[in-house]
Every structure is written in C-alpha cells, then in structure tokens.
Structure 1
Amino acid sequence: MNRQEFTAGALHAARVLKELSAFRHFAALCDGTVKLSNGTVKVSKALLASGCPYFKVLYEFEEESQHGAHRTSEPRLDITCETFELILDFIYSGRVILDNDNIQDILQASDLLLMTDLKELCIQYLMSRIDVDNCLGILQFAQQFSCPRLVHYAQDFVCQHFKHRQIVRTEEFRNLSEERLKILLSQDGLAVKSELDVLTALVVWLNSNLSASPDVESLVTSCLRESSDLNYDPKFQRALQDLRAANPPWDSPGATRVLDALNKTRRIRSIRERGMKTVLACCDGCTNIYLVDILSSGKHAGAHVRLPPMCHPRVKPALVVEGGFLFALGGMSVDGGIKNDVQRYDPRSNCWTMMSPMPYACCLPQVVAHAGKLFVTGGLNGETELEISNLEEFDIYANKWRTLPSISNVRRGAALAVANERLYYIGGSPSQEVPSCGLFYRVLDAVEIFCIKEEIWVAGPQLKERRSHAAAVSHDGNIFVIGGARPIECPSAQGQLKITGTEALTHDYPMGWTPLPNFRVPSEAKIETTALANSRDLLIVGKCDPSDVKRNNCFVMEASGWALPPGIESILTSGTIMFFSFALLTLPRAAMQDLLSEDSE
C-alpha cells in the first residue's frame, strides 16, 4: 500500500505553542524552577531549553554530569521575575513588547541567556528610537553588552549629528566621563562645521563639571585640531583670539581653563580632516583594490589610492560593504585556482583580516548586505556562470556561515537586491534553456522574494520589462532594477539585444513595478552595468563598448535623471586598468587623507 504524507500546516505548531503557553501556569505540568533576583518561577525544562540556548546547555550538562549526580534543580539568575516572564512570553509566542522602561533589562537578560533573536529585536528597537538626546547613552549601552551592529549605528549617528551642536546641549553629553569625552571629541569621523564646534563642546562640558579636576591640557591637545587639511580656518582662529581676549561668550570658568591649557601648550597637536566621505572601491585584474574619490569636488575629485595588499591576493573577488568594513569574497589566486576566501578590510586600522571561508569556491559571487549579514549566491567558475541554488548567510560579527532555503528556480543573469527584511531575486534566464552559442534565449520577468525573518520564498510582482544580467540595488527602502538586456524577437534583428530601462519597486506602492523613463541607462554605461547605493547616493558604473573593457563610466542618480559625478575624470576612465567589481565605502576623511599621503611617498 502506497504511503502519502499529509500535514496540518504551519498553524498546527502555533496552536500547540499557544496551548503550552497557557499550561505553563499549571504547577503539575512544570518540572523545574528558576530562582531569580526577586522570586522563583516554575518552568517546563523541555520548552525552556528549546527556546533558550543558555538553559539548553545547562540542562544537557546536568544530565551528562555523572548521570545527574550533581544536578542543579534551581538555576539562579540575576533577572527579575517580571523580565523573565516577558522572556517566557517570547519563547512561547515569538513576540515581545518593548518600551523605554524594559528595554535595558530585556537586552541585558537576552545577552546573558544567549538569545540572539531576542537581542536582535532589542537592537532594532533601540535603532528606531535613537535621537540626539539618547544617542550617547545607547552607544555606551551597546558597548557594554557587546552589540557591535548597534555600536556602529550609534557611532555613525553621533558623528553625523554632532555638527549642529544638538548633542552638546544634552544632559548625556554634560554627564560624560573625562575619558569618554576625550574619545568622542578626538574622533576623525566627527562631523563639524569647523573646530569651533569642538572648542564649544569642550567649554560646555567643563562648565558643567566645575567640581571635577580633569586634565584640561590633555583634553585640549587630544581633542582640538589647528586646522582642516592645512587650510586656514577663520572661525576657529577667531574663536581662539576671542578666548585669549576673554570676550563673550567665552567669559566662563570652562573657557578660562581651556585658555590656561592653551597658554601652556602653545600649540595643538593634530592637523587632520574631520568627518566621513564616500569613495568607490574597485578591484582590478591584478589583485589590487583601489579607492576612487568620484563623489567629492575640489582638489581630490577623481583622486585614487591603492589599498594595502590582501592577506591572500585574489583576482575577481566580489566586493561588498557592511558595518563600516569592506569585504572581498571568493576570486582566483594568482595561479588560477578558484578560492572561497573571505577577507575584511578595516579603514580605521588600514589592514586586512581573514574571515570564515564561503561554503563554496567561486569568482564574483552575487552578494548583498543587510543588518550585519551578507547574503551570497551564484558566481563564476572562471568565465562560466555557475548554476547554484544555494543561498548562504554570513554573520559578519559572529563570523559564521549558515545555509538558508535554496532558490527553487535558479536563473542565469538574475539580479539580487535586499530591502525591508526581504531579498529580491529578479529576472534572468532559465539555466537549462540557455544555449551555449544560440542567438535566441528566453528571458523572464519573474521576481522571487525571500522573507528573511520567516525564511521562506514567495512569488513577487512581475517586472514590466523582461531582462537578464540587470543591475539591482536598494536605496531609501526602494528597489531599483537598472539596465540588462534581452534578445530582440525579430528575424531581421537576429543576434541583437535590447538594452532595457529602469524600473522601481517603491515602499509606498509595493504591489507593482514602476517604469522610470527619465532613468534609462546612458549608452556610456550600458555594458556590464553595476548599481551601488548608500544612504545618500545611488550610482551606476558600466562600459560603453565591450571592445573597450578598460574604460568604466559612472553616473549619479539625481531628481531629473543620471548626472556625471564631480570626479568623472579618474582612473576608471583612463583606459589603463580593467576593473571587475565595485562597492561604495564610507570611511573617515582622515583615513583617506593618510592613504593619499602614503601613496604619494
């Protein structure tokens, strides 16, 4: 007799958990207790261990220790009963209610109990609530409980919002310790209009800490900078003159302390640029990675530097940026071997680090970054596009890979983008239907969506234009699909390709794609188009002619269409180097300044 499997669906598991949640208050059904800071809670060991790694390890150890001879019936935790009940609610339902009153206790408890999923929800809550009044406290809190993604986010927020002096007016700033003040005001990435902002911040803090005895001379020499990029800073110089003359608004005890320190030191230590800048990271065919300043105007527009060599030189790695780091994935060794390396570049220390290798080896894999994770699929085996259904996830902070549900309909030339907890797999051609040397092949308008939280694939809205080998990117919560091609289905146009335009899937209209006629790909970038974006800019890089493989053109998206960037004349357009992969990297201006200085020596 043939057997056949039947299922009650996902609702069955949810219904069982709901019933078990109700039963957890029945003492007869509880086989364990947990002693907390202000009481005791009865628990089901099996369910507690299934939802909390801390208790899973604890109960497994008890079972294995001399066959239970040293079993601890009541684990002790420095957590309140109220907080523990909320954690139990989360284990049973997958939901938690967070607010300003409980967020600190729940984050601290999730860190102690190794509940990374609950900890991630706490991080998302804090990121959504950060503002100028609490950003310094959130930064300190994130550092205390090892939340590197939140540290990076809060650090960026502090640096970007410092220039309007809003943070300086907050109670958190006035209550900073001397050490934390020095760390804050000496940062390269701090966005300031001039050093007058830093001078003002230093005086404000000293006026708020008159009873303290800080080392003002050390603060002055560590925090203040004479000028920016050797340019005369009239506001700062005028402020120093006013300070030495004791003119308002500098007639205060804090200003007097700064003046005394300035009279003792006579000079300020550092001459370094402040703030952040975005550059284009480009990998050539000779294992070199360059940073090109194409988005800035002025004397450095179009300037480039070469990064230090990777730990292991690679040709054709994929480049991606996440968490302030630049990652190079896969590629070929100098002797032609296909590799699965993952290497990370830190612009603040100017060095490369080896990370856990990819589950498979390839060149130029498709990779997108989201919320501290890299999502990887596809790639090349030399020049041949791989037919890989794997979807791999890399946690950049845990340094671990995880295999996700595979792509059911693998397509060559599909584009990849991520936004709003969703991964978009767009267009392309069915792998089995692409002839090795044919003139016609089928191109699809299909879009599949991977829901990151639920870890399931669902069908997405179809494209307006069928396309293969398009560029896709997320910007401001919207998905843009740019360029690509499909065969012209006409006998008289045999072998010719139609270059497709641009369309967007916006967060205010998520049910369908919207064509953007003003953003048709310029002919100068229609070949091998790559799309890149950060919080401010969206740009494309491509070639005009497949025969001119060493000349890349770049365009920036503006309201009316594609525009040339300030650094259009650069190593990209020189026609001397072939580039294979690109990424947008935001780094401190001082780090780029140091690289330019080293490169000129």
Structure 2
Amino acid sequence: MTDNDHQKQMQYGFSHMQWMQNFYTQGMFSDIDLIILKKRYHTHKSILYSVSPYFRSILDQNMNIRGLEIYIDGIRKESVDKVFEFLYKGTLEMTIEQVANILKLAEILQIDELKKNCYSFLETVCRDNKKVSQKTEDIDKYLLCNFSKITSHEKYLNLSVDKVKQLLSSDDLQVSSLMTSCKSEEQVFKGLSKWLKYDWNNRKKDLYSLMKYIRLPLCDVSFLLEEVRSLCCEYDSESPFSIVLDALRWHQMPKKRSSSSLTNAKCRNIHKQVLIFGGRNRNISGIIDMYNPITNAWSELFHTTIKITNFSAVIHKKKVLIFGGWDANGIDTNEVYSFNLLTRTLNKLAAMKCKRWQSTAALFVGDRIFVIGEDGASNSVEEYDYVKNSWKKVAPMNDSRLKHTSVVYKDDIYVFGGYKGSSCLKSVETFNTKTNKWKTLSPMKTATSSLSAVVVDDYIYCIGGRDDDSYHLSNVERYDPRSDTWTSMSDSLVKDFGFKAVCYNGKIICFGGFISNAVQEYDPANDQWKIIGKMPKQRICYNALVF
C-alpha cells in the first residue's frame, strides 16, 4: 500500500467515525440500550462488540434479541459520558480528577484501548509534574539571579510575603555583579520597599520581619539614615529602628566586627558572569553581551563606542583593559583603553611600545599585566604597570608566535602553540614572573594555532584550533604543570577555532568560534561534553571574560 492509499484509507475511516458520532448524539439506528443510574443510553451493538470482551460475551448470548437492554450499576454517570465519548470519537479529554473513575469503568467493561489512554494520560501528568517542578526551580533561580530587573514588574509586586522572604533570605540573591556589596544591598532594600509600598496598608506589618533579611550593615551610613530610616518612620512601631541601630553600630565599631553576633552582616554569594564583546563585525564589536552560567541566559549589557577588533583584554577592578588590535580602518594599533563597567566610560591609557593584534594578555597579581606576542609572529613581551600607567619590555619568548594562547597558573605564565612563518607550533613555554625568565616545556601532541586554554584545578586544558592545513580541530589536550606531561581527552562536540573558553564552577564553557555560535560545556570530572545553548550574535575574534 502506498502512502497515498494509506491516507485515503485513514480519511475513509474518519468519515465513518464522524457518522457514528452523529448516530449516537442524535439517537439514530440504535439497537441496544445501556441503563446506568436510571438513565438510558441508546448505543450500537457493532460499536460495543468491537471494543470489549465484556459486551461480546453478552451479545453472543443475546444476538437475536431486539431492543436489548443492559443494566450496569456501581459506576458514576460522568465516567459513562467519557467512555461513550471515547467509543464514538476514538479520543478522550480528561482531567486528573476524572481519570481514576474512567479507568475503573474501563476495567469493569474490559475496554483495553481506553485503559491504555488512561495510563498514557497518567504518565504524561507525571512527566509534566516533573517539568513543572523543574520550571519552578528555574523560575526561583531566575528571581534570585535577576532581582534588580524584576522589582518593577507586577508579578514581583504581587508575590506572597513568604516568597519575598525566601528571596531576601537567600545568600544567592543577586543584584548586579557590576556593583559593590554596599550598592547591591541598597538595591535589595529598594526592591523590598517597592513591594511593601505596592500595598502598604496590608503589608506594612511585614516590614520588621522582612527587614531582618536585608544586610543593612553593608549599606552606606547615609543610605541608612535617609532611605531606611524614612521607611521605618512610616511604621507603627519602633521595632525596625533596632535593626537600623545595629547596622549603625557596625559602622562605628570596625574593630569589634569579627566578634559581632550580627547575622545580617554577611555578604551574599557573588555569582560571576561572562562578558562577551568585540569581533570583526564592527556592527556588533561595541556591543557587550552578558552570559549568566547559572540560568544559561543571555542579555545585552550595553553599547560602547569601541570599534577595535582583534584586541586582547583582561578585567581588572571592574574595568576592561583593551590592548592593541585593529582600529576602525583595519590598521594595527598599539593603543590601550580602559572601559569602566560601572560608569560606562572609556579612557585612553599609555600606548604599548609595539603594535599588536591577536596577542594574548594575562593578568597577574600585584597589578602586573603582560602582553605576549604581536603581529608578524614576534617573541616580544611587554609588562604594564597599572599604577604608574607605563610600559616596559621584559624577556622575550624563546619562540616567535602569533595566534597563540596563554594562561596563568601559580604565578607563572604558560604559552601554548600559535603560528610562526608558514606553520603551526607544538611548542610550549612558561614565564617565571619573579626571575623574568622563559623555560621550554614538553610540546603539545598536535601543532595548533587559534586554540583556547583554560586552567581547572591543577590542569591546563588546550581546546580546538586549527592545524597547518587549516583543518578545524576538536581535539582536547590536558597539560599537567606538575609533571610536564600531556593527556588526550574527549574531543569537543564542535570542530572550530578562534573561540573563547572560560572556567566556571569547575567546568569549562566554550563560546562559538569562527564558524559556530554553539555554547559547549565540558565537565573535567567525567570527561564529557554537551551543548548547552548558542550565542545570540555570531562573533569572530572576540573576547570572553569572567567578572
């Protein structure tokens, strides 16, 4: 039978079912009555005979009797209506409250297909309940991670007092990772104030109980005396003022803080996020996207005037430092900028001694920053003094390289692969920032450029890139700095190069690449990869920084 024949057969069957529904609802051509709870149901022997061994046994004995009546007791009327709906339609809509009685009747009447439908419905309910439970967890997680965004929404303003208490009491409540703990807690209080004032007459009684969960000692004194005190003055009792006084004492006696019994002086957990910015496409190079690994959600943070691409960058004290790259005309530059994430201002810093693009920068303790390699595959290395805003050249690498990658591990800088002349490099070297000397280490197994490297615990993972034939790679090599040895790990799920990878909570997250915008997550504990999403914008030669 062809697909066309099968389709015609199905249409023919549906047409007959529609006619049978009409016969039942209009009481036409019925040849058997079921009497249930004194109500008479005009039905058809052919339908009952085809679906149930129970009815077949009765009809086989009474096939020639006209006007046959069958009495059925011990069941509920609404269940019967649902059974006939199924018998004449082949489908059934039911609720969780109805399914038990329908299933019971299906058992009595031995209607196997109806029993299957009931069990299938129950399985779906169980599965959906799990989804609802997971959805509830996701919603709670979103509320915690996006508190400052939701406080003006009506859904937040209509939350129950218990839900608000759950939010305020959580150490995981996040306002903005761009704020200091002081400003963050002030935003938490403002969020509580909005909720209370939305229905002040009914909610003011909850002020004292909810204020206990605000970390008021972390707020500025001026904020305590103005905004917090002002709200407390609208309360009918003096109780909230005791919490404010405790917070003021905290500020007045800094030497006794360690022995203080204040439980609301503890900073909340800081859930770091990932900044994604830059790229060859100048239409998006100035757009900074933010990725939240906790919720696996993206948001567009803000637009900047930065039109430089192929630069290297680090985050230092809430500022993004940008080194070199290509300017708006596609020309190599040695310019250095500082972008303040709090004030969203761009400042020019002292220029590097060399023009550099696709170099790597590594932030080191003590405000020391190193920029390694430059255009033309140089071995040049410069150090930036953040305090003095000045540059100096330090010992060059043993190998000249371009499109390499570097990481910091225990105060030393490790540089992997890259491109030199017409070939990719296997070479690896480390820079001791105390002795100002480079040392060659065991080479990688595969010569690779445009790769990414991440430190997780005591290992360094080198991921992806491309080889001498410009073949996109998915291989992963793990380097142990303690033994100077390499181990091959499971390949990533995407073959690509030029992507960025970061470490978050012991796992590696890889963003996009030259051809892909997939977001992958690698768990070193079980050596497994999975796709967890995709980037909202396709970027090439961009930066990903955890802050």
Question: SS at 2:362's partner residue?
Answer: strand
Does the Cα contact within 8 Å between 2:493 and 2:531 map onto a contact in 1? no
Distance 2:507 2:387 in 1: 26
- In structure 2, the residue matched to 1:218 is 226
Does the Cα contact within 8 Å between 2:502 and 2:545 map onto a contact in 1? yes
- Quick one: which amino acid aligns to residue 562 of structure 1? W
- In structure 1, the residue matched to 2:461 is 480
Q: What is the aligned counterpart of 2:545 among 584, 590, 595?
A: 584
Q: Is 1:295 aligned to residue 292 of structure 2?
A: yes
- Quick one: which amino acid aligns to residue 392 of structure 2? R
Q: Is 1:515 aligned to residue 484 of structure 2?
A: no
- Equivalent residues in 2 for 1:58-137 (5 A)? none
Return closer, same or farther for 1:510/1:325 CA change in 2, 3 Å cut-off: farther
Does the Cα contact within 8 Å between 2:212 and 2:243 map onto a contact in 1? no
For residues 412-441 of structure 1, what are the alpha-carbon distances to aligned partners after superposition, in whole Å with 9 as ceiling and x for unaligned? Answer: 443322211111122345x35x2xxxxxx5
Distance 1:215 1:324 in 2: 23
Q: Is 1:352 aligned to residue 313 of structure 2?
A: no
- Equivalent residues in 2 for 1:490-569 (5 A)? 497=471, 499=473, 501-506=475-480, 509-517=482-490, 520-523=491-494, 525-533=495-503, 538-543=508-513, 549=515, 551-558=516-523, 559-560=525-526, 561-565=528-532, 568-569=533-534
Displacement after TM superposition at 1:511 (Å): 3.1
Distance 2:217 2:316 in 1: 35
Displacement after TM superposition at 1:505 (Å): 2.7
Q: Is 1:403 aligned to residue 393 of structure 2?
A: yes
Distance 2:211 2:488 in 1: 47
Does the Cα contact within 8 Å between 2:321 and 2:337 map onto a contact in 1? yes
Distance 1:390 1:256 in 2: 57
Does the Cα contact within 8 Å between 1:281 and 1:291 map onto a contact in 2? yes
Question: SS at 1:411's partner residue?
Answer: coil
Displacement after TM superposition at 1:184 (Å): 5.9
Q: What is the aligned counterpart of 2:404 among 414, 432, 451?
A: 414
Question: SS at 1:564's partner residue?
Answer: strand
Does the Cα contact within 8 Å between 2:474 and 2:496 map onto a contact in 1? no
Does the Cα contact within 8 Å between 1:420 and 1:477 map onto a contact in 2? no
- In structure 1, the residue matched to 2:437 is 456
- Quick one: which amino acid aligns to residue 543 of structure 2? F
Distance 1:405 1:309 in 2: 34
- Quick one: which amino acid aligns to residue 521 of structure 2? V
Q: Is 1:426 aligned to residue 416 of structure 2?
A: yes
Distance 2:362 2:506 in 1: 18
Return closer, same or farther for 1:337/1:221 CA change in 2, 3 Å cut-off: farther
- Quick one: which amino acid aligns to residue 294 of structure 1? Y
Q: Is 1:254 aligned to residue 225 of structure 2?
A: no
Q: Is 1:331 aligned to residue 325 of structure 2?
A: yes
- In structure 1, the residue matched to 2:75 is none
Q: Is 1:282 aligned to residue 277 of structure 2?
A: yes
Distance 2:509 2:540 in 1: 16
Return closer, same or farther for 1:581/1:454 CA change in 2, 3 Å cut-off: same
Return closer, same or farther for 1:255/1:413 CA change in 2, 3 Å cut-off: closer
Q: What is the aligned counterpart of 1:318 among 312, 315, 332?
A: 312
For residues 287-323 of structure 1, what are the alpha-carbon distances to aligned partners after superposition, in whole Å with 9 as ceiling and x for unaligned? Answer: 732222333566x92222442213xx42332233233
Return closer, same or farther for 1:274/1:416 CA change in 2, 3 Å cut-off: closer
For residues 12-46 of structure 1, what are the alpha-carbon distances to aligned partners after superposition, in whole Å with 9 as ceiling and x for unaligned? Answer: xxxxxxxxxxxxxxxxxxxxxxxxxxxxxxxxxxx
Displacement after TM superposition at 1:360 (Å): 1.1
Does the Cα contact within 8 Å between 1:467 and 1:500 map onto a contact in 2? no
* Aligned Cα root-mean-square deviation (Å): 4.3
Question: SS at 1:220's partner residue?
Answer: helix
Does the Cα contact within 8 Å between 1:533 and 1:584 map onto a contact in 2? no
Displacement after TM superposition at 1:257 (Å): 6.4
Distance 1:347 1:416 in 2: 24
Return closer, same or farther for 1:245/1:315 CA change in 2, 3 Å cut-off: same
Distance 1:473 1:316 in 2: 20
Q: Is 1:309 aligned to residue 305 of structure 2?
A: yes
Return closer, same or farther for 1:402/1:483 CA change in 2, 3 Å cut-off: same
Distance 1:418 1:253 in 2: 49
Displacement after TM superposition at 1:536 (Å): 6.0
Does the Cα contact within 8 Å between 1:484 and 1:499 map onto a contact in 2? yes
Return closer, same or farther for 1:397/1:555 CA change in 2, 3 Å cut-off: farther
Structure 1 runs not aligned, ≥5 long = 1-161, 166-182, 207-212, 225-239, 259-272, 381-385, 435-440, 488-494, 587-601
Distance 1:317 1:412 in 2: 13
Does the Cα contact within 8 Å between 2:458 and 2:480 map onto a contact in 1? yes
Number of aligned residue pairs: 329
Question: SS at 1:294's partner residue?
Answer: strand
- In structure 1, the residue matched to 2:370 is 375
- Equivalent residues in 2 for 1:161-200 (5 A)? 185-187=182-184, 199-200=212-213
Question: SS at 2:438's partner residue?
Answer: strand
The structure having more radius of gyration, on CA atoms, is 2
Does the Cα contact within 8 Å between 1:340 and 1:362 map onto a contact in 2? yes
Distance 1:205 1:304 in 2: 29
Q: What is the aligned counterpart of 1:471 among 420, 445, 452?
A: 452
Does the Cα contact within 8 Å between 1:163 and 1:197 map onto a contact in 2? no
Return closer, same or farther for 1:245/1:464 CA change in 2, 3 Å cut-off: farther
For residues 329-366 of structure 1, what are the alpha-carbon distances to aligned partners after superposition, in whole Å with 9 as ceiling and x for unaligned? Answer: 21233233322111111111111111111111133322
For residues 236-264 of structure 1, what are the alpha-carbon distances to aligned partners after superposition, in whole Å with 9 as ceiling and x for unaligned? Answer: xxxx9xx9586xxx958614869xxxxxx
Return closer, same or farther for 1:398/1:190 CA change in 2, 3 Å cut-off: farther
Displacement after TM superposition at 1:403 (Å): 1.0
- In structure 2, the residue matched to 1:108 is none
Return closer, same or farther for 1:254/1:506 CA change in 2, 3 Å cut-off: farther
Return closer, same or farther for 1:527/1:204 CA change in 2, 3 Å cut-off: closer
Does the Cα contact within 8 Å between 1:190 and 1:274 map onto a contact in 2? no
- In structure 1, the residue matched to 2:263 is none
Question: SS at 1:479's partner residue?
Answer: strand
Displacement after TM superposition at 1:452 (Å): 1.0
Structure 2 runs not aligned, ≥5 long = 1-168, 173-179, 193-208, 247-267
Does the Cα contact within 8 Å between 1:424 and 1:447 map onto a contact in 2? yes
For residues 355-396 of structure 1, what are the alpha-carbon distances to aligned partners after superposition, in whole Å with 9 as ceiling and x for unaligned? Answer: 11111113332222222332212234xxxxx12111111123
Question: SS at 1:410's partner residue?
Answer: coil
Does the Cα contact within 8 Å between 1:321 and 1:583 map onto a contact in 2? no
Q: Percent identity?
A: 16
- Quick one: which amino acid aligns to residue 502 of structure 1? V
Return closer, same or farther for 1:579/1:304 CA change in 2, 3 Å cut-off: farther
Displacement after TM superposition at 1:399 (Å): 1.7
- In structure 2, the residue matched to 1:10 is none
